[in-house]
Structure 1
């Protein structure tokens, strides 16, 4: 483990013995780089993103908590991605390098804390080895009252070209998008022409992302749902922290808990994602 700087943000870089590495900024507990042992960067970060702590980072893996999107009265996608986390521990286990980051309710800025009067501890564990990355996000209610929460890992994966990417594992899975009625996916492989924004509910198993001759296997536990998103040309042009052409080179596939879960006082929840190129 070594301290580093990403843009203007303090960060931590972990490196496995085989060369796999990951970089996480303390701002947001945000995974901004994942390089497999062959040296390939597997995550997308926009060249137009602010990297000074003034707003959430566009790319990498933002931590979404305690609200998904605008599904609530709080900050869009929650405050975890714009709060400052602490490094709790780091080391090596079974050839994998790992680091664990923690965010307590007492770490929140006063204005955010006033809008979220619930005591909690949020932990993120990042581990890399060879062609694999494991992410564990856990929430512990340290207060005396139950609170509802949603959570997601808003992963931006680097791809060669949007119209050539394919996502498998979603056939016959129910989804919702911008249309009024839910639908069932019929295609074996999801393809992309332009904008797509879907929430898939109750995944039955692992997903796969096919791009550039490579296959990424995505497994998740605890997270019941998945979000597949790309803004397309028109929406990308309206995003100030995304260059107009960049939408063609990433795809978001997010393990998510969309329907808020009620976490009892003293209780905990954990969501896990394992990613591996096969």
Structure 2
């Protein structure tokens, strides 16, 4: 296992993992516990980062995989998507071993609340994040433990920005027949009618109680991302399209064309933890040839 600590152009510490057999790599910012890069053995980037992304200690990078905790979006009294993405995480120097047949190239990060955090969200917790790298896969396992004397609830999402060739050439499978909340229509609830989700305008939806597997199929690049999730029943789908894209300061005007966000999430039903209880959520992404999906996506 190869784990290096490097500093970026802003002087912030990053963790770099390299898969020893296949040469794939991943970069994690300690600020925010944010995965900002995942490259194949041939050096091809798989995660989107904004063309206007800024490396500033006080702001998460627009792109990669962001941690939304302890709230998603603006559905609570905290800053949008919670504060975990804007805090400095630490590396666990003696992490537990991986499970049998698990990925052996990994790093464990830890976030505990500061005194300032406890003023805005008065709950003590320990958040452990394992980022693990395989030959053609990347997994994130989140564990949140209630270390307080009283119960608390939270919502959660892994805000994942997939790098694609062209948003018009992408379809998402696995969400058919699922109910969703449409944030562009006053959070009205609908049921997905199509066999696959395609894009011809802005999309901002929370799909509820979705299958364990979702596929993002990029026809032009002949690549499929298979997203497998555990403990994360919901899925967020977002693309800002042109008008909204131009209104977001840290997105380039044309960035919407080469990205789609699919978040494994727990939003509709908040996660409740009693004192001493722990919650676990996990997502694994596989990048495979699109020919792998010759028929309907197996949800299991």
Q: Please tell me the TM-score bracket, short chain as reference.
A: over 0.9
The match for 2:209 is 202
Q: Does 2:166 match 1:157?
A: no
The question of whether the paired residues in 2 share the 8 Å contact of 1:162 and 1:250 is answered with yes
Asked if structure 2 preserves the Cα contact closer than 8 Å seen for 1:36 and 1:129, the reply is: no
Q: Which residue of 2 aligns with 1:236?
A: 245
- Once residues 150 and 24 of structure 2 are traced to their aligned partners in structure 1, the CA distance between those partners, rounded to angstroms, is 41
What count of residue pairs does the alignment treat as equivalent? 275
**Structure 1 residue aligned with 2:259:** 250
Q: CA RMSD in A?
A: 1.6
Equivalent residue for 1:269? 279
Given candidates 117, 128, 140, the residue that maps to 2:122 is 117
Mean Cα displacement is larger for which, 73-82 or 259-268?
Answer: 259-268
CA distance change for structure 1 residues 7 and 90 in 2, over 3 Å: closer, same or farther?
A: farther
Instruction: After TM superposition, give the deviation of residue 239 of structure 1 in Å.
Output: 0.6
The equivalent of 2:15 in structure 1 is 12
1:179 maps onto 2:185 in alignment:
yes
Deviation sequence 1:213-257 (CA, Å, 0-9, x none)? 111111101011000001111111011111111111110000001
Residues 44-93 of structure 1: CA deviation (Å, up to 9, x unaligned): 11121221212221000110000111101111100000000001148996
Kindly indicate whether the alpha-carbon contact (under 8 Å) linking 1:7 and 1:52 is maintained by their aligned counterparts in 2: no
Partner deviation per Cα, 1:85-130 (whole Å, 9 max, x = no partner): 001148996664101100011xx3x543311111000111001111
State the distance in 2 between where 1:227 and 1:158 align.
Answer: 16
- Note if contact 1:203-1:224 (Cα within 8 Å) is conserved in structure 2: yes
Residues 159-188 of structure 1: CA deviation (Å, up to 9, x unaligned): 000111110011101111032531111111
SS at match of 2:149: coil
Q: Report the 3-state secondary structure (helix = DSSP H, G, I; strand = E; otherwise coil) of the residue aligned with 1:154.
A: strand
Q: State the match for 2:142 in structure 1.
A: 137
1:223 aligns with 2:232: yes
Compute the displacement of 1:5 (Å).
2.3
Partner of 1:3: 5
Distance across 1 between alignment mates of 2:199 and 2:212? 21
Matched with 2:72 is 68
TM-score (norm 1): 0.95
Which structure 1 segments of 5+ residues have no match? none
CA contact (8 A) 2:212 2:233 kept: no
Is it true that 1:41 corresponds to 2:25 in the alignment?
Answer: no
TM-score, normalization: structure 2? Answer: 0.88
The CA deviation at 1:7 is 3.6
Q: Residue 182 of structure 1 aligns to a residue in which SS?
A: strand
